[in-house]
A and B are shown apart, each in its own frame.
Chain A
């Protein structure tokens, strides 16, 4: 299985901050990398697919980059509704695997 490692595991930030979360794959996954937002009691939401494509309806302050084994999710100006947990997921091969999550607080 492909191991996905995120850092940091938690991040303290303020409204308006620029935030960057990283994700590393244990082997190359090209750009088969998705980012999700999780809030307690709510359905997870896909933000970015294919490493850099913004899912329809997702605010443009979210962006993704990277290829191979190293990826980043950036929130350009943190908004109150962005405090959540973020996780990366590789779609290069099954079993699909996720990072352990980054809690933004």
Chain B
């Protein structure tokens, strides 16, 4: 059974760095054919795509966050990470890690999600 679990919730001050990890169990993160992604949901708002790392190691980031975000995979630990620098109040959100899959017909979707980690940015 595939499970994803984000590391714990965080309280940060403006300008600090957000670091989250996502532990993957039930499947090897190096198994290929999947991507590993981060999303977030600010209070009362829609889910927002942060970025993606493909099994090739290629990353894709939301242009609105690209200058501040890094996603990386640690294959030895079956986990992947999110680093967001210079956080501000607008970065307050529930952060989700997900696995991206692709159907035989070529459709991409996110088939496994963590339960989310709350990140609060406040002075």
Contact = CB atoms under 8 A, between A and B. Distances in A.
Scoring B48, B103, B113 by chain A CB atoms within 10 A of each residue's CB, the highest score goes to B113
Interface residues of B, number: 24
B46 A32 contact: no
Contact of A94 (B49, B110, B116): B49
B112 interface: yes
Contact of B113 (A43, A91, A96): A43
B25 interface: no
A34 interface: yes
Interface residues of A, number: 26
A43 B114 contact: yes
A66 to B, nearest CB: 14
Contacts, number: 64
A44 interface: yes
B96 interface: yes
A49 interface: yes
Interface of A: 4, 31-32, 34, 36, 41-46, 49-50, 53, 55, 87, 89, 91, 94-101
Interface of B: 4, 45-49, 52, 60, 62-64, 96, 103, 105, 107-116
Given A49-B109, A98-B48, A98-B49, 19 more contacts: A31-B107, A32-B107, A34-B107, A34-B109, A42-B115, A43-B4, A43-B112, A43-B114, A44-B96, A49-B103, A50-B103, A53-B107, A55-B109, A87-B46, A91-B107, A94-B52, A95-B62, A95-B63, A99-B46
